Structure 1
Amino acid sequence: MKETILLFNITDRNTKLKLERILLPLKLRIRRIPVSQYGQTLAALCGLEEPADLPSESAVTPSFSDPMMIFAGLSEMTLDRVLTGLRAQQIRIPYKAILTPTNQHWTPEECFIEIKKEHEQMHGLNQ
C-alpha cells in the first residue's frame, strides 16, 4: 500500500496550505475525505477494500466537525517527518491515528469517537 494520509474536516485555507508544504515533498498519497464518504470504512478510504454503496451526499449528516488525520502505511521515518513538520508549522490537529488491523474496519466516526476518548483520558478531561 502506498503511504497514505486521510484528512477529515481540514477547512482552514492556511492550514491546508501548510499541510501541503509538509506532505507534498514526502510524496505521500493525500486523501481529503468528503462528508459523503464518512460511512465508508477506513480501509475502503485507503483503497484496501471495496467501498460500500452509500446514500447520496444530501442524506449524510456530518458526525464530527473536528479535524482528524489517519496515517496509513507510513514508515516510522516518514511519520516522524510528518509530525515534526506539523509541530514546526504549528498545525494543531489533536485527533490523529495510525491505521491498524483493529481500526481499519471502523468508519471515520467510530475512529473519531475512540481517538477523542483516548485524548480525553490522556489529558484528564473526562473527570
Structure 2
Amino acid sequence: MDKRKEEKILLYNFSDEEYLNQISGIFKALRIQVVILKPEDYCQKIGYLLKLPGFSVVERDEDKDFDFNHEVLVFYNIKNKRLDEVLKKLRNADIEIIYKAVVTPLNRFWSLERLCLSIQKEHGYILEQKSKNE
C-alpha cells in the first residue's frame, strides 16, 4: 500500500481501556492503523505523531502541563464516503466522540495541544449557535 495514502487514526485521552479496545477494534476491522497517544504527546506536531517525513520530536517543557479532559479522534487520509462509513460504524456501535478532526495540510504543523484547543473552541461555537437557534 502507498504510504502516503495509508489511513490512520490518532486517539488521545482515552482512559477507559475497555472502551479504547472497542474503538480500536472497529478501526482495525476497517484496516485503519490506530495510533494511541500518550498524555505527554500534547506538545508534538500532528505530522510527527503520524510519522510523516520532515517532522521531528519536540522537547516537552517539564514545567508545562496540558489539562484537557476530552477524548480526541484525529482522522488521517480518511475522506468523503470512507469517512462517512467510519462515522457510521462508530454510531452503530453507540460510540460518540465529540472532539474529532481531520488532518489538513495546515494543521499537520500544529501541536496536538493547539489542535485540541481549536476543536474545543469550534465545539463551543457550535453549541452557542445551537442555543441561539432554540
TM superposition score normalised by structure 2: 0.82
Equivalent in the alignment of 2:18: 14
CA 102–89 in structure 1, closer or farther in 2 if over 3 Å, else same = same
Equivalent in the alignment of 2:55: 50
Q: Does 1:120 align with 2:91?
A: no
CA RMSD of superposed structures (Å): 2.2
Q: Structure 1 residue 63: deviation in Å?
A: 3.4
Of the three residues 35, 40, 51, the one matched with 1:36 is: 40
For structure 1, which runs of at least 5 residues remain unmatched after alignment? none
Distance 2:46 2:60 in 1: 17
Instruction: Give 2:55's aligned amino acid.
Output: E
Cα displacement string for residues 55-84 of structure 1 (whole angstroms, at most 9, x for unaligned residues): 48x666233121001101113232122101
TM superposition score normalised by structure 1: 0.86
Runs of 4+ in 1 over 6 A off after TM superposition: none
Pairing of 1:28-107 with structure 2 (within 5 A): 28-48=32-52, 49-55=54-60, 61-107=65-111
- Please tell me whether the aligned partners of residues 24 and 34 of structure 2 are also in contact (alpha carbons under 8 angstroms): no
For structure 2, which runs of at least 5 residues remain unmatched after alignment? none
User: 3-state DSSP class of the match of 1:70?
Assistant: strand
How many positions carry a matched residue from both structures? 126
Q: Structure 1 residue 88: deviation in Å?
A: 1.0
User: 3-state DSSP class of the match of 1:124?
Assistant: helix
